[in-house]
A and B are shown apart, each in its own frame.
Chain A
Amino acid sequence: MWYYEKKLQYPVRVSKCDVQMAKFLTEQYGGADGELAAALRYLNQRYTVPDKIIGVLNDIGTEELAHLEMIATMVYKLTKDATPDDLKKAGLGAHYANHDKALYFENAGGVPFTATYFTAKGDPIADLYEDIAAEEKARSTYQWLINMTDDTDLIDSLTFLREREIIHSQRFLECVEILKEERDRKKIF
């Protein structure tokens, strides 16, 4: 089970209302390489991977939930004071018609989230390589998002998230090495 702590993993501040940026950030909320896909991918894979790497998947999956909450906080803060007209001008008129200002798991283009964004192959090496690729893709998305804003507060939080993708990728790469070592050890006997 999980416990909740009343804090974000890293502070999220925004210096202005920016509906368009909120729309772009949705990519990391309900997009293919977003935080929801990441959390669900790892927390689902953990049941059937070798014992040695369950902890890594469990803990990174858990940290992704904290990142999901940070992205949600950004979207919430960037749209909190927006009028329906602001939303319409930023391309969120269709979103408003369906959801008002509620958050919705969709990508930046408005396509709803789908489980087909990730897989569970049952082969730990195949799964880990997907995980590494997912982290690198998310890192790129964070860079593209940073490139589209001049809000220094927002950039600070996005930079933190971008750096986390690098660490996660590194830990998954180490998992691959751990499994290869185990495999080679078995061959000796």
Chain B
Amino acid sequence: MKESTAKYYELLHEIQQVDFALVELNLYLNTHPMDQQAIMQFNELVQRSQMLKKNFESMYGTMRNFGESFSPTPWSWSNTPWPWQV
């Protein structure tokens, strides 16, 4: 595996890990809305996820559509790879 490819996977996996914890906490909080510690953990991970994505996008192009991310010039959203291609 090329070094650049390895870096891509490493950064992507980090995002997948944090975002998975966010999905899990979100579902948990839907039925346990008073768990303050879980809410704190959720908010910390929101911040971490946003930071990781900003960094990832600065290297590999827009990751989120419809205005959830800023665009560089030229437009990079519709570039490959799509998730099923990596």
Q: Give the interface of A toward B (CB within 8 A).
A: 3-12, 55-56, 59-60, 63, 69, 72-73, 76-77, 167-168, 171, 174-175, 178
Known: A73-B83, A73-B84, A76-B84. A4 touches B64 (CB 8 A): yes
Other contacts beyond A3-B66, A6-B62, A6-B64: 19, CB < 8 A: A3-B64, A4-B65, A4-B66, A5-B64, A5-B68, A6-B83, A7-B12, A7-B15, A7-B83, A8-B84, A10-B16, A11-B12, A56-B30, A59-B26, A60-B27, A69-B83, A171-B30, A174-B31, A178-B31
Report A-chain residues with C-beta under 8 Å of the C-beta of B12. 7, 11
B47 to chain A, nearest CB (A): 17
Given contacts A8-B16, A9-B16, are A171 and B31 in contact (CB under 8 A)? yes
* Cβ-neighbour of B31 out of A56, A72, A77 (below 8 A): A56
Docked pose: A18 CA to B13 CA in angstroms: 25
Which of A59, A77, A174 interacts with B84 by CB under 8 Å? A77
Q: Tell me how far the C-beta of B27 lies from the nearest C-beta in chain A, rounded to whole angstroms.
A: 5
Contact present for B84 and A3 (CB under 8 Å): no
- Report the Cα distance A168→B13, complex, angstroms: 23
A165 → chain B, closest Cβ, in Å? 13
Tally the A-B contacts, defined by beta carbons under 8 Å. Answer: 62
Interface of B is mostly: helix
Asked whether any CB of chain A lies closer than 8 Å to the CB of B3, the reply is: no
Which of A77, A171, A175 has its CB near the most chain B CB atoms (within 10 A)? A171
B9 to chain A, nearest CB (A): 8
- Which residues of the other chain, B, contact A55 by a CB distance below 8 angstroms? 30
If A3-B65, A56-B31, A171-B31 touch, does A72 touch B16 (CB 8 Å cutoff)? no
Cβ B31 vs Cβ A63 within 8 A: no
Complexed CA–CA distance, A129 and B83 (Å): 34
CA of A11 to CA of B31 in the docked complex: distance in angstroms? 28
0/1 interface trace, chain B 32-67, chain A, CB 8 Å (1 if under):
000000000000000000000000000000111110
19 intermolecular pairs with C-beta atoms under 8 Å apart: A3-B64, A3-B65, A4-B64, A6-B62, A6-B64, A8-B84, A9-B19, A10-B16, A10-B20, A11-B12, A56-B27, A56-B31, A59-B23, A60-B27, A73-B84, A77-B84, A167-B24, A174-B31, A175-B31
